[in-house]
Structure 1
Amino acid sequence: MNSNNMLQEPTSVRGAGDIGGTNARFALWREARLESVEVLACADYPRPEDAVREYLHRVGQPLSAVENVCLACAGPVGDGDFRFTNNHWVIDRAAFRAELGLSHLLLVNDFSTMAWAASRLAGEELVQVREGTALEGRAKLIIGPGTGLGVGSLMPLPGGGWEVLPCEGGHVDLPVTGERDFAIWQLLREKYGHVSAERVLSGSGLENLYRLSCQVDGIEPLALSAAQIGERALAGDEYCDAVLEHFFLWLARVAGNAVMTVGALGGVYITGGIVPRFLERFQRSGFAEAFCTRGKTSGPYLSQVPVWVMTAKHPGLFGAGVALEQALLAEA
């Protein structure tokens, strides 16, 4: 590919997409900002190419207007074609580019775009939940309990850029620090065998934590979803509130362990569908203290690491735009 053809003027339009199992979000990326965000149902379109055409039609852009596109895809992204796990779409890279007339198509893992977003989000799109000092030139950690538990890191590059390092940090062993942790961990092991962090720190994990807490306490559990557990906690249900607090404390332990593993003294960014939804309650939780209440070495190491919650409306789309911007700059 001729890199000269990929260079764009600062005002040029690029395309960003964030595609999950149910919905595809698309936007235009112009001057480092998102424009014209639209959400389309994946089930309504036979192919992703059809959804892109419909999106451009809705926002009044001809197919020729967008030559460079980044799509955040739910699942592991390799060098070949991408088959979505939870919908019928397949992206054949060569065919997709040819049909839509693209000069450049970048596919990235959907959680990686959260890391790209963290490299650029403005102050009003972040809420600091733990004070500290982010060290220049050190890695940043991104962690997000949602459908699963996403974990990734941002590594600084010479010249001011960033490299995203995706990983499978949601599947590390769940840390156990007390008798109640151990009682719940034993029940999780009986059910699943290996007890990963994601068995608690996710939507289904919060449901696990509620049901097994009830079992430990000899209480008959209600058939509650993760959203309902959180809503009942906010409405004054003391038991659901205690479960949500336990969730936040476990998140503190897992996040702190990850910081020590990658040396992420540049700070922690929390995203995903759970913590931002219950942000006010999270701010009142014991997360900040539990994050660094550890041994004589690990506690001081973590004591000055700041933590933010990402509150941007479309962080996946924003991160896709940033990822494309940096990729085009690197290849210029």
Structure 2
Amino acid sequence: MPEAHILPFPVIVGDIGGTNARFAIVPSPDSEHVRLPTQRTAAHPSVEAALLAALGEWSGPPPASALFALAGPVLGDRIPLTNCPWVIDAQAVMKALDLSAFMAVNDFEGQALAAAALPEEDWIVLREGQAVSNSPRIILGPGTGLGVGGLIELPGLWVPVPGEGGHVDMGPRTADDLALWPHLHAQVGHRISGEAILCGRGLLNLYRAVSARRRTDPRHDRSEDITRAALAGEDSIAEETIRHFVTYLGRLAGDLALVYGARGGAYITGGIAPVILPFLRDKSFIDAFDDKAPHSAWLSTIPIHIVAHESPALAGLAAYAAEPDLYAVSQAGRFWSR
């Protein structure tokens, strides 16, 4: 691939999703990144306003360039986010911060970079498995939306593979699913995608559908209240909802492992997974992941990890900024300078 443009330091890296915009400064190639205050996207009219607020407490040299992981496809220098009204305008960001360069990648490219860069202590082992060297990995994460990405390991080089796999179709498989699915259609319409049931608002859709099936009025109207009630054992409908969520997440993760041939491992990130860890540790997730005859035997050897780092995408972006030659990240149509 063409020689990469080098981002001048300091670099401000950003992980911008539907709910939060997280930023950090990478002062130099050989220094740790420094976290800046997280900004709620709803609190600011634009990314430029959020950046200026985050930098308000930064007393070091101003950033010279920016590298952002964005929750949406990067198809030009104006990038609308999937679950947020912001449009990231590369030229406007460079002008607002007086930057000489700006680069944007998909948010799950940032998560994939983290799967390559983070040490073992930043991951919780759900299954040890038997990783095969130089084999693909998958990364998926339920949060505000449902992100999906891949990571390919080559000798001396990591290749993150972006995509929008969170929007694939989901369908019923068991008699229990068939009884639930009409109620899901009533919540989300004729097409039920992964993101329609496997993210924050998806959890709420699933909970309302389970409530309707059980002919009971929903007690909760926020996803965090559903998870809290399920973990506390206070609400059987909430518990049933989380168990469906975990099973469907396992099925999708297993499907993605088949698509990628992900014998290097599966990495579950996003804001929801750490919260529902007790349910993920239940055998229903791994059973759903492995139940892919005739390939269950090799799927059952795939290591599965849950992210434990507070902001993995920032760590992945910082690693790329420091040593871009270790990562095959395309800059075509995604790098701008002035």
Which of the five TM-score ranges fits, normalised by the shorter chain?
Answer: 0.7 to 0.9
Aligned to 1:145: 142
State the secondary structure of the residue aligned to 1:277: coil
Distance 1:245 1:320 in 2: 33
Aligned to 2:288: 290
Aligned to 1:315: 312
Aligned to 2:58: 59
Distance 1:266 1:50 in 2: 40
2:125 to 128, 144, 163: 128
Q: In the alignment, does 2:176 pair up with 1:180?
A: yes
Contact persistence 1:69–1:324 (CA under 8 A): no
Distance 1:212 1:94 in 2: 44
Q: Aligned letter for 1:40?
A: Q
Distance 2:260 2:124 in 1: 23
Aligned to 1:303: 300
My pick for the range that moved more, 267-276 or 71-80, is 71-80
String of CA shifts for 1:14-44, please: whole Å, max 9, x gaps.
2211223454322112536321432234566
Aligned to 1:34: 33
State the secondary structure of the residue aligned to 2:250: helix
**Gap runs ≥5 in structure 2:** 332-338
Distance 2:283 2:261 in 1: 25
CA displacement at 1:173 relative to structure 2: 2.0
My pick for the range that moved more, 134-143 or 90-99, is 90-99
Aligned to 1:92: 89
Structure 2 vs 1, CA of residues 86 and 206 (structure 1 numbering), >3 Å: closer, same or farther? closer
Distance 1:300 1:110 in 2: 32
Distance 2:71 2:289 in 1: 29
Distance 1:328 1:52 in 2: 28
2:72 to 49, 71, 75: 75
TM-score, normalised to structure 1, is 0.85
Contact persistence 1:248–1:285 (CA under 8 A): no
String of CA shifts for 1:119-166, please: whole Å, max 9, x gaps.
111122100112201111111100111222111111224x42222222
CA displacement at 1:90 relative to structure 2: 4.3
1:253 to 243, 251, 254: 251
State the secondary structure of the residue aligned to 2:182: helix
Aligned to 1:166: 162
What is the RMSD computed on CA atoms of the aligned residues?
Answer: 2.8
State the number of aligned residues. Answer: 322
Identical aligned residues as a percent: 36
Contact persistence 1:74–1:84 (CA under 8 A): yes
Q: Aligned letter for 2:60?
A: Q
Q: In the alignment, does 2:11 pair up with 1:14?
A: yes
Structure 2 vs 1, CA of residues 98 and 130 (structure 1 numbering), >3 Å: closer, same or farther? same
CA displacement at 1:101 relative to structure 2: 4.1
Structure 2 vs 1, CA of residues 230 and 56 (structure 1 numbering), >3 Å: closer, same or farther? closer
CA displacement at 1:309 relative to structure 2: 0.3
**Gap runs ≥5 in structure 1:** none
Distance 2:4 2:213 in 1: 64
Structure 2 vs 1, CA of residues 247 and 45 (structure 1 numbering), >3 Å: closer, same or farther? closer
Distance 1:169 1:89 in 2: 22
Distance 1:284 1:116 in 2: 28
Structure 2 vs 1, CA of residues 323 and 77 (structure 1 numbering), >3 Å: closer, same or farther? farther
Which aligned pairs between 1:187-226 and structure 2 lie closer than 5 A? 187-191=183-187, 192-226=189-223
Distance 1:7 1:317 in 2: 15
Distance 1:98 1:177 in 2: 52
CA displacement at 1:277 relative to structure 2: 1.3
Distance 1:315 1:155 in 2: 18
Contact persistence 1:133–1:305 (CA under 8 A): yes
String of CA shifts for 1:211-247, please: whole Å, max 9, x gaps.
2223223333323422111111111133322221121
2:277 to 276, 279, 285: 279
My pick for the range that moved more, 91-100 or 315-324, is 91-100
